[in-house]
Chain A
């Protein structure tokens, strides 16, 4: 089966600064992969290069086996990749319902407004509210719900637990596990190692613009030097 996402030898720059230095990363079809690493390791930049926000200078991005290196964001989105970005980036001026409608790409038996509201019931009574009036937790739910409205084959989440209260992080983990069970491929960027290892069937560790470790959560737990060298606080 072709992988949902295959990134190889990715190099990307912000102006002169060489941020991605040969990133290799793969997410199998229906697989959940966690990408962890310290602040500034290059996780968000990797995502930016995958979804078309930033044009890589070298390397390849294959989505479902199709080469989409350097393609514009809408083409990557239309090939089945949905992003729940760092900082949520919901449209605050639009209502919750409009945020969802904007992203909608209906398929039979797929995600629609009713189904994302089943997953995040808290949003149901906020539908006509301007999204900027939502709480941080509600905004995060909306950002995930909006991505699901695309009916993606691959869902990329960039630090969804950032700024959430511990109870909400637990709810988030449960929701992500439910999504994983539907066979959706997931790439989860996280600083919260507990969440990353609970959701990710494999964990990739990133440092200084490259992936320096890859393995199952058990293998990561066994490799204690990795945690202290690349993740320790």
Chain B
């Protein structure tokens, strides 16, 4: 590989990592708080992308789509958690199965509403060009994705560590029952957490759409990669989502260059290695293999 190619691929890897972070942050948050691996997370991501497509078609504004799609997903999460998940509180396996069902329904309805052909979403005006960077042209939008991922990580980290709701989230991840005994309405906190997780999935869907396009099966790709990220980084912590995505994004990108179709094997080798050396994931507190 020429140095120019390595540089380009490194940027690609980082922008993929930034996307993975947006995606995995929500999955990890919901797992940490509610002990539920939300297997509808990929479907939420896909729905976010398609809602964005409609918003852009109607209004022409990508930025509006970046606001509307997460809000729409948050609303869906606010309805689904009390309506479905709450009824199965404490029955984790049943809750996980339920999220598979939600995922099937959502993906199927996307097919009904938006069709099943491959669609694309243009990067917003101003970010649709490319810049000359170290021996080649590089798409501006991908640089934006890196910057956006970093900014979101900073924002979430501020919310986690400095705000009252962040304090409650960290406490709830440790011991939600005890948090309830201190007067916090954990039902409400769970619903808001689930909604925030869904909103983050939707946001990832919007941000990813100009890079990867929209097509059937995108939900499963997103789910697979976000699961890998949280397993590698460690479930239930923000730092884990950062560490996992910074590792998996570049590893996958370089894996695809070097090993082509065996790239997935690289990813799973990383998963196996991390779990072998540190069963909680890099920064996690929760053992994955009990």
User: Which A residues are closer than 8 A to B by beta carbons?
Assistant: 51-53, 72-74, 76-78, 82-83, 85, 89, 91-94, 98, 101-103, 105, 146, 150
Contact = CB atoms under 8 A, between A and B. Distances in A.
A82 B183 CA distance: 9
11 contacts: A72-B180, A83-B181, A85-B178, A91-B170, A92-B174, A93-B171, A94-B171, A102-B182, A103-B182, A150-B182, A150-B183
B168 interface: yes
Contacts of A77: 180-183
Given A72-B185, A77-B180, 14 more contacts: A52-B181, A73-B177, A74-B186, A77-B183, A82-B181, A85-B178, A91-B174, A93-B170, A93-B173, A94-B174, A101-B164, A102-B171, A103-B182, A105-B183
A102 B180 contact: no
Interface string B47-60: 00000000000000
Interface residues of B, number: 20
A94 B170 contact: yes
B180 A91 contact: no
A105 B182 CA distance: 9
A102 B174 CA distance: 13
A119 to B, nearest CB: 18
Chain B binding surface SS class: helix
A111 B187 CA distance: 27
Interface string B154-195: 000000000010011011011101111111111100000000
A71 to B, nearest CB: 11
Nearest to B175: A89
Interface of B: 164, 167-168, 170-171, 173-175, 177-187, 285
A52 B176 CA distance: 13
Contacts of A146: 182
A191 to B, nearest CB: 22
A153 to B, nearest CB: 13
Contact of B174 (A52, A93, A103): A93
B236 to A, nearest CB: 10
Indicate the member of B164, B170, B183, B186 with the most A CB atoms within 10 Å.
B183
Contacts of B168: 102
A89 B177 CA distance: 10
Contacts of B178: 85, 89, 91
A51 B180 CA distance: 9
Nearest to B179: A102
A83 B181 CA distance: 7
B181 to A, nearest CB: 5
A16 B233 CA distance: 39
Nearest to A85: B178
Contacts of B179: 102
Contacts of B183: 74, 77-78, 103, 105, 150
B235 to A, nearest CB: 14
Contacts of A74: 180-181, 183-186
A72 B187 contact: yes
A51 B167 contact: no
A5 B114 CA distance: 59
A94 B167 contact: yes
A102 B167 contact: yes
A60 B164 CA distance: 35
Contacts of B181: 51-53, 73-74, 76-77, 82-83, 85
Indicate the member of B167, B181, B182, B183 with the most A CB atoms within 10 Å.
B181
B42 to A, nearest CB: 29
Contacts of A93: 170-171, 173-174, 285
A98 B181 CA distance: 16
Nearest to A103: B182
Nearest to A101: B167
Nearest to B178: A89
A73 B178 CA distance: 9
Contacts of B186: 72-74
Nearest to B180: A73
Contacts of B173: 93
A51 B179 CA distance: 12
A102 B179 CA distance: 8
A102 B166 CA distance: 11
A53 B171 contact: no
A91 B187 contact: no
A146 B183 CA distance: 12
Contacts of A92: 174
Nearest 5 CB-CB pairs, A to B?
A73-B180, A77-B183, A91-B171, A103-B182, A89-B178
Nearest to B177: A53
A35 to B, nearest CB: 18
